[in-house]
Amino acid sequence: MGSQTMTAAAQSGGGHERSIAEVAAELLGFARAMDDGRLDYDRRTVRLTFGSANGDGMLAVIVILAAVSLVAGVVSLFLINDLALLGLSLPDWSFFALALVLLCLALWAAPRSGTHFDLRQRAVIHGGASLPFDRILPAQLELTPDDDGVALSLEHPDLNRRLAHFPAAKMEAAQAVRARLVELLERRLPFTRPAGPASAPRQTTGAGTGLSADLPKAPGRLTPVQGWIIGAGAIFARANGHPVDRLGEVSGPLGALGRRKAVALLREGWGIVGGEDVDGQVMSLITRGHREDFGFTARVAELSEGERVRYGRALHALTDSGLANDPAARQRALADLIALRYGPQGLQVMGGVLRRAPETDPAVVDLVETAMLGPLWDPEVDADELEPHWARAREMVGTEFGDEGLSAFDAWRAAFTRDVIEVPGALELYVQLRIFLHQLADPDFPAEELGRLRLLEAAGPGAVTHDRHMAWDFGRALMLIRWGHMAGWIDADDAWMRMLPIAREIQSAYGSWTDMAAAYLEGRALWSGGRDGDQPAFEKAAAELEADPDSPWNRLPWDLPLEKDW
């Protein structure tokens, strides 16, 4: 199918959808509900801009100062003779130099004064960063409640920006704005299609043209793109007894049975009891997952043999019941473990905050860390924006622990500010340490961690990269969304739209179904430390998917264009 044919198809199918201008007009209507920020729509460039009034005000000040400097320079030229009589050596060219510098600064700052949703380029642009729409998951457009209402933010590893804030009374408007942005992110726009004569079909061995319109649906079940999405999480699905030719039954006797199974799996295996919990776990898997843990363990695997032995001893020491009543020995073991795993800065963060001075009640610290971890994790938040969260945490501590708790809170906040907030890179490390300390509470963790070390030592340097084991985390994220649908918490279309960008990320990270399957199985082995007796069941599921002619892996090409086709 050539590009012109595709364009025609897109246009003919567009009668069922509102135009971009209509959606933009609706968004501009909702923008009146914002109490922080504003929204513009440029019809010529087809671009929505979320901009801060404060940022635009600063830009205006720069322009005004540049104009004043330029006028002063021009005036000095006309008054050159009069000023010379006063002994002033004018014109003062510094006026012109200052005006030039300020104008350059204004030109540099102008495109950075807002966050642009460029619908022609299908990308979110802020400053010099450009993030394609198809790399944004719906869950990454977040609504975060606070004391004054709700903030709308784009929470993506490559671009993290607060877009607007709505008062509490305008929650419905905030939800509607988010829904319209998700709609725009997923919309197939006719003007994004290449113009010109029809191009030759792209051939893919054994799979027709590689375009979804040229491929058959799974028997009565899925479109080609839907089949590809299911295939990306098929190992996890098949190993858990789920079909790979449908999203999941939600009606009839099979639907009731599937619903009970899905609810039980989510509750018992993941602690998930509702749709919001699904969103939280999916976001955790796609932004962090186990990939970061693998990276830190890989660093330990590259240490000397003596340092690796020390690491193992420290792990066992922390779970040794004989050390339960020896806090000093446990503290030494923890310090050694963190120094080897995270380096000197890890010790600094632990020493300043996590060590917890003897006079600080650990229960107070636990409450404060729990209350503040979410706000502190936002890399865009500044000190002023944190103040309401600090005040709320302090109020909680005072209610729970009284005046002594408030003194402990003030001491902890001072240490945290000094050793984490004011130290570049320390906040990210703090979050990692919090996760690691939670893992250490699991009695099985030392054996699993040592198993990971052995696997990584055998694999050698470079076995863990940022994207290598994405399939392990993203494949499970796909299955969580399927279970959320089967449990009755997520409708079918919403489930597909949530899974589509996840599948695109998987496709961009690997070169074939075989490559993806190998990475998934490696990731699972690392997760368990090679100690899980269920690993053969997952390897068998992958082998069956490779051999089954009706498997998505054999019916669909790896490089199938992943555009909505349902």
**Local structure of residue 36 (DSSP, 8 states):** B
- How far, in Å, CA of 249 to CA of 272, rounded? 20
Element (H, E) at 496: helix 492-509
The top-scoring range by mean pLDDT among 78-82, 113-117, 554-558 is: 554-558
Q: Are 499 and 229 in contact (CB under 8 A)?
A: yes
- How far, in Å, CA of 548 to CA of 244, rounded? 11
- To the nearest whole percent, how much of the chain has pLDDT over 90? 18
Indicate yes or no: pTM above 0.85: no
Name the amino acid, one letter, at 502.
I
- How far, in Å, CA of 124 to CA of 557, rounded? 29
Helices (H), 271-382: 275-287, 291-301, 305-318, 327-342, 344-349, 362-377
Task: Give the model confidence (pLDDT) of 403-414 as tens digits.
Answer: 888 888 888 788
pLDDT tops 50 at residue 188? no
Cα dihedral 374, 377, 383, 387 in deg (nearest 10):
10
What average pLDDT does this structure show over 358-384? 65
Name the amino acid, one letter, at 98.
L
- How far, in Å, CA of 409 to CA of 211, rounded? 59
Task: Give the model confidence (pLDDT) of 199-242 as tens digits.
Answer: 333 333 333 334 444 455 544 478 999 999 999 999 999 998 88
Task: Give the model confidence (pLDDT) of 100-140 as tens digits.
Answer: 776 665 555 444 457 888 877 788 888 767 888 877 877 78
What average pLDDT does this structure show over 6-23? 43
Task: Give the model confidence (pLDDT) of 391-401 as tens digits.
Answer: 888 888 888 88
Per-residue confidence (pLDDT) for residue 286, from 0 to 100: 86
Task: Give the model confidence (pLDDT) of 261-311 as tens digits.
Answer: 888 889 888 888 888 888 888 988 887 788 888 988 998 999 999 999 999
Averaged confidence pLDDT in the chain = 76
- How far, in Å, CA of 551 to CA of 19, rounded? 38
Per-residue confidence (pLDDT) for residue 481, from 0 to 100: 94
Helices 291-301 & 513-528, crossing angle to 10 degrees?
Answer: 70
pLDDT tops 90 at residue 375? no
What average pLDDT does this structure show over 83-108? 60
- Asked if the bond preceding 379 is cis, omega within 30° of 0, the reply is no
Lowest mean pLDDT of 130-144, 257-271, 321-335, 374-388, name the range: 374-388
Q: Are 341 and 452 in contact (CB under 8 A)?
A: no
What average pLDDT does this structure show over 239-259? 75
Per-residue confidence (pLDDT) for residue 187, from 0 to 100: 61
- To the nearest whole percent, how much of the chain has pLDDT over 70? 71
At 203, list the tokens: 């051939």
Per-residue confidence (pLDDT) for residue 235, from 0 to 100: 95
Sheet (strand 114-118) strand order? 38-42, 47-51, 114-118, 123-126, 129-132
**Local structure of residue 211 (DSSP, 8 states):** -
Look at residue 523 and give its three-state secondary structure: helix
Per-residue confidence (pLDDT) for residue 5, from 0 to 100: 29
Q: Are 541 and 491 in contact (CB under 8 A)?
A: no
Lowest mean pLDDT of 22-26, 137-141, 155-159, 371-375, name the range: 371-375
- How far, in Å, CA of 412 to CA of 368, rounded? 9
pLDDT tops 90 at residue 439? no
pLDDT tops 90 at residue 479? yes
Comparing CA positions, the residue from 369, 393, 389 lying closest to residue 381 is 389
Residue 439 contacts by C-beta under 8 Å, 6 or more apart in sequence? Answer: 293, 445
Q: Are 171 and 150 in contact (CB under 8 A)?
A: yes
- How far, in Å, CA of 285 to CA of 144, rounded? 19
The top-scoring range by mean pLDDT among 111-115, 139-143, 255-259 is: 139-143
The top-scoring range by mean pLDDT among 40-54, 362-376, 460-474 is: 460-474
Task: Give the model confidence (pLDDT) of 519-531 as tens digits.
Answer: 999 999 999 888 7
Residue 307's alpha-carbon distances to 312, 313, 466, in angstroms, are 9, 10, 24
pLDDT tops 70 at residue 359? no
Q: Are 356 and 366 in contact (CB under 8 A)?
A: no
Lowest mean pLDDT of 167-171, 366-370, 421-425, name the range: 366-370
At 433, list the tokens: 């340490």
Strands of 92-231 (E only): list them.
Answer: 114-118, 123-126, 129-132, 141-146, 149-156, 159-167
- How far, in Å, CA of 451 to CA of 438, rounded? 19
